[in-house]
Amino acid sequence: MDTKKASPSQPAIKWALINLITSVVITYAFQFLNVDQTSSLKYLNYLPFIIFLLLTQKEYKQQLSGYLTYGEGFLSGFLYSIYTGILVAIFTYLYFTILSPEMVDKLMAISRQQMEAKGNLSQDQIDTGMGIATKYFAVIATVSVVFMYAIFGAIVSLISAAVFKNERSAFDIPDDYEAPKSSDPTV
């Protein structure tokens, strides 16, 4: 009888998809509520990310009958972070290029105001920088999202894996353990 070993990818993909849906809802809620792009509310997206990472590790631990090594806990959380980063990066690219390209103009206007307020750049330098940033904004944002989620997810996974860790002792017998059958009838 073959028993299927639990995979950390299954809960990681599930929770990454749920996080993607949550991120899309939060993004459009901020857009429709006209929340200031420089507001600290933009960090609200990290809360569901952390919660879903913890739920990924918890679900994987349950699949392993309540036992989870530190490495398994980290792996499940890090996989979730990678999958989330890729999915959110795809959404980010589509959002800035197709779904809401006007948001790039809003963000560029805010950046221009901030550069002009500092006063350490000439108008030509600002115009050149803004031209390059506008042209490559979607690509830069997309790549940044992948790396940001991977790094932040690795840090959170390292911490939370220590919390969820519950290793099997040498005396614990797995639920699917079958004692070896002796072929010698005299034993």
> Which of these, 151, 33, 146, 54, lies nearest to 93 by C-alpha position?
146
* Beta bridge mates, 166: 68
Chain centroid to CA 50:
8
> Which of these, 144, 118, 115, 143, lies nearest to 128 by C-alpha position?
115
Mean pLDDT is lowest, of 11-15, 73-77, 98-102, for 98-102
Instruction: Count the neighbouring beta carbons within 10 Å of the beta carbon of residue 175.
Output: 8
Instruction: Report the share of the chain in percent with pLDDT over 70.
Output: 87
**What's the pTM value of the predicted model, to 2 decimals?**
0.81
